[in-house]
Protein backbone atom coordinates (compact mmCIF):
# COMPACT_ATOMS: atom_id res chain seq x y z
CA UNK A 1 0.00 0.00 0.00
CA UNK A 2 1.68 3.18 -1.20
CA UNK A 3 -1.15 5.55 -0.29
CA UNK A 4 -4.17 5.32 1.97
CA UNK A 5 -7.26 7.49 1.98
CA UNK A 6 -7.79 8.41 5.62
CA UNK A 7 -11.28 9.46 6.68
CA UNK A 8 -11.67 11.40 9.93
CA UNK A 9 -13.52 14.27 11.52
CA UNK A 10 -12.86 17.94 10.93
CA UNK A 11 -14.05 18.64 14.48
CA UNK A 12 -11.82 19.09 17.52
CA UNK A 13 -13.50 17.09 20.30
CA UNK A 14 -12.93 18.13 23.92
CA UNK A 15 -11.12 14.82 24.58
CA UNK A 16 -7.50 15.44 23.45
CA UNK A 17 -6.92 11.74 22.71
CA UNK A 18 -8.63 12.09 19.33
CA UNK A 19 -6.35 14.85 18.02
CA UNK A 20 -3.31 13.01 19.39
CA UNK A 21 -4.47 9.81 17.65
CA UNK A 22 -4.85 11.53 14.28
CA UNK A 23 -1.41 13.10 14.55
CA UNK A 24 0.13 9.74 15.52
CA UNK A 25 -1.57 7.97 12.61
CA UNK A 26 -0.23 10.55 10.16
CA UNK A 27 3.29 10.20 11.56
CA UNK A 28 3.21 6.40 11.57
CA UNK A 29 1.95 6.20 8.00
CA UNK A 30 4.74 8.55 6.90
CA UNK A 31 7.33 6.50 8.78
CA UNK A 32 6.11 3.40 6.93
CA UNK A 33 6.40 5.22 3.59
CA UNK A 34 2.62 5.32 3.10
CA UNK A 35 1.23 8.54 1.65
CA UNK A 36 -1.96 10.09 3.04
CA UNK A 37 -4.93 11.09 0.91
CA UNK A 38 -7.46 13.00 2.98
CA UNK A 39 -10.13 15.70 2.93
CA UNK A 40 -7.71 18.61 2.62
CA UNK A 41 -8.78 20.49 5.74
CA UNK A 42 -6.57 22.17 8.32
CA UNK A 43 -9.00 21.82 11.25
CA UNK A 44 -9.71 19.06 13.76
CA UNK A 45 -8.53 15.51 13.27
CA UNK A 46 -7.98 16.23 9.58
CA UNK A 47 -5.45 18.94 10.31
CA UNK A 48 -3.73 16.85 12.98
CA UNK A 49 -3.45 13.89 10.61
CA UNK A 50 -1.82 16.04 7.91
CA UNK A 51 0.51 17.75 10.38
CA UNK A 52 1.67 14.42 11.79
CA UNK A 53 2.41 13.04 8.33
CA UNK A 54 4.10 16.19 7.04
CA UNK A 55 6.29 16.59 10.13
CA UNK A 56 7.43 12.98 9.66
CA UNK A 57 8.36 13.72 6.03
CA UNK A 58 5.36 12.00 4.45
CA UNK A 59 3.35 12.72 1.33
CA UNK A 60 -0.03 14.35 2.00
CA UNK A 61 -2.57 14.83 -0.77
CA UNK A 62 -5.59 16.88 0.21
CA UNK A 63 -8.79 16.70 -1.83
CA UNK A 64 -11.25 19.46 -1.00
CA UNK A 65 -14.26 21.08 -2.59
CA UNK A 66 -14.21 24.66 -3.84
CA UNK A 67 -16.90 25.58 -1.30
CA UNK A 68 -14.64 24.48 1.58
CA UNK A 69 -11.65 26.34 0.10
CA UNK A 70 -13.80 29.46 0.02
CA UNK A 71 -14.66 28.84 3.68
CA UNK A 72 -10.92 29.07 4.44
CA UNK A 73 -10.57 25.58 5.87
CA UNK A 74 -8.14 24.29 3.20
CA UNK A 75 -4.74 23.11 4.35
CA UNK A 76 -2.29 24.80 2.00
CA UNK A 77 0.66 22.98 3.59
CA UNK A 78 -0.20 19.72 1.81
CA UNK A 79 2.26 18.15 -0.59
CA UNK A 80 -0.53 18.54 -3.12
CA UNK A 81 -3.97 20.10 -2.74
CA UNK A 82 -6.60 19.14 -5.30
CA UNK A 83 -9.70 21.31 -5.51
CA UNK A 84 -12.84 19.70 -6.93
CA UNK A 85 -16.38 20.97 -7.39
CA UNK A 86 -18.51 18.30 -5.70
CA UNK A 87 -18.39 15.82 -2.84
CA UNK A 88 -18.90 13.02 -5.37
CA UNK A 89 -15.75 14.10 -7.21
CA UNK A 90 -13.92 14.31 -3.90
CA UNK A 91 -14.83 10.74 -2.90
CA UNK A 92 -13.97 9.45 -6.38
CA UNK A 93 -10.54 11.10 -6.05
CA UNK A 94 -10.02 9.38 -2.67
CA UNK A 95 -10.67 6.04 -4.39
CA UNK A 96 -8.56 6.81 -7.46
CA UNK A 97 -5.54 8.10 -5.53
CA UNK A 98 -5.36 5.44 -2.81
CA UNK A 99 -4.64 1.74 -2.36
CA UNK A 100 -7.06 1.40 0.54
CA UNK A 101 -9.06 3.26 3.16
CA UNK A 102 -8.59 3.85 6.89
CA UNK A 103 -11.33 5.44 8.99
CA UNK A 104 -10.49 7.21 12.23
CA UNK A 105 -13.11 8.62 14.62
CA UNK A 106 -15.42 11.17 13.03
CA UNK A 107 -18.99 12.21 12.46
CA UNK A 108 -21.60 12.05 9.71
CA UNK A 109 -19.24 12.93 6.84
CA UNK A 110 -16.77 10.29 7.99
CA UNK A 111 -19.57 7.72 8.11
CA UNK A 112 -20.66 8.68 4.60
CA UNK A 113 -17.12 8.08 3.31
CA UNK A 114 -16.70 4.80 5.19
CA UNK A 115 -19.99 3.28 4.05
CA UNK A 116 -19.43 4.35 0.47
CA UNK A 117 -16.03 2.63 0.48
CA UNK A 118 -17.65 -0.54 1.87
CA UNK A 119 -20.58 -0.36 -0.56
CA UNK A 120 -18.32 0.21 -3.58
CA UNK A 121 -16.15 -2.78 -2.53
CA UNK A 122 -19.26 -4.96 -2.13
CA UNK A 123 -20.52 -3.97 -5.57
CA UNK A 124 -17.14 -4.23 -7.30
CA UNK A 125 -16.21 -0.62 -8.04
CA UNK A 126 -12.91 -1.26 -6.23
CA UNK A 127 -11.10 -4.19 -4.62
CA UNK A 128 -9.19 -2.23 -1.99
CA UNK A 129 -9.10 -2.94 1.75
CA UNK A 130 -11.42 -0.86 3.95
CA UNK A 131 -10.04 -0.41 7.46
CA UNK A 132 -11.70 0.92 10.60
CA UNK A 133 -9.45 2.04 13.45
CA UNK A 134 -11.55 1.35 16.54
CA UNK A 135 -9.40 3.42 18.87
CA UNK A 136 -10.74 3.83 22.42
CA UNK A 137 -13.69 1.59 21.46
CA UNK A 138 -15.14 4.50 19.46
CA UNK A 139 -16.69 2.19 16.86
CA UNK A 140 -17.88 -0.65 19.12
CA UNK A 141 -21.52 0.23 18.41
CA UNK A 142 -20.97 0.49 14.66
CA UNK A 143 -19.23 -2.88 14.58
CA UNK A 144 -22.12 -4.41 16.53
CA UNK A 145 -24.56 -2.87 14.06
CA UNK A 146 -22.55 -4.24 11.13
CA UNK A 147 -22.77 -7.72 12.70
CA UNK A 148 -26.50 -7.23 13.22
CA UNK A 149 -26.95 -6.36 9.52
CA UNK A 150 -25.06 -9.52 8.56
CA UNK A 151 -26.96 -11.74 11.01
CA UNK A 152 -30.27 -10.40 9.67
CA UNK A 153 -29.19 -11.27 6.11
CA UNK A 154 -28.54 -7.77 4.78
CA UNK A 155 -24.81 -8.40 4.35
CA UNK A 156 -23.94 -11.52 2.39
CA UNK A 157 -21.58 -14.04 3.99
CA UNK A 158 -18.98 -13.41 1.27
CA UNK A 159 -18.99 -9.69 2.09
CA UNK A 160 -18.64 -9.90 5.88
CA UNK A 161 -14.87 -9.51 5.62
CA UNK A 162 -14.91 -6.24 3.69
CA UNK A 163 -14.87 -4.06 6.79
CA UNK A 164 -11.56 -4.74 8.56
CA UNK A 165 -11.21 -3.41 12.10
CA UNK A 166 -8.55 -3.28 14.77
CA UNK A 167 -7.99 -1.22 17.90
CA UNK A 168 -4.41 -0.29 16.90
CA UNK A 169 -2.93 0.96 13.63
CA UNK A 170 -0.14 -1.65 13.23
CA UNK A 171 -2.61 -4.52 13.54
CA UNK A 172 -5.04 -2.81 11.20
CA UNK A 173 -2.38 -2.24 8.55
CA UNK A 174 -1.26 -5.88 8.80
CA UNK A 175 -4.82 -7.09 8.34
CA UNK A 176 -5.37 -4.70 5.44
CA UNK A 177 -2.18 -5.90 3.73
CA UNK A 178 -3.43 -9.50 4.02
CA UNK A 179 -6.88 -8.62 2.62
CA UNK A 180 -8.10 -10.92 -0.16
CA UNK A 181 -10.80 -9.45 -2.41
CA UNK A 182 -14.13 -11.26 -2.37
CA UNK A 183 -16.71 -12.04 -5.05
CA UNK A 184 -18.48 -8.81 -5.85
CA UNK A 185 -22.15 -8.28 -6.59
CA UNK A 186 -21.20 -7.46 -10.19
CA UNK A 187 -19.71 -10.98 -10.45
CA UNK A 188 -22.91 -12.66 -9.24
CA UNK A 189 -25.90 -13.70 -11.27
CA UNK A 190 -29.45 -12.83 -10.27
CA UNK A 191 -30.00 -16.32 -8.85
CA UNK A 192 -27.04 -15.81 -6.47
CA UNK A 193 -28.44 -12.56 -5.13
pTM of the predicted structure, to 2 decimals? 0.95
27 located within any domain: yes
124 located within any domain: yes
Tell me the mean pLDDT per 10 residues along the chain, length 193. 97 98 98 98 97 98 93 91 96 97 97 97 96 98 97 94 98 97 86 75
184 located within any domain: no
Q: Answer for the pair 113, 6: CB distance below 8 angstroms, yes or no.
A: no
Helix (H/G/I), strand (E/B), else coil: 28: helix
Give me the number of domains the chain comprises. Answer: 1
83 located within any domain: yes
**CATH (domain of 36):** 3.40.50.450
Amino acid sequence: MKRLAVYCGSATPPDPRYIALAREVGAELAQRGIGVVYGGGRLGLMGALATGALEAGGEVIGVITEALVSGEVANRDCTRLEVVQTMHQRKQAFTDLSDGFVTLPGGVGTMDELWEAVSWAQLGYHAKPVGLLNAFGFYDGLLAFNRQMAEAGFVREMHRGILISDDHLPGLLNRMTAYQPHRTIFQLSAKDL
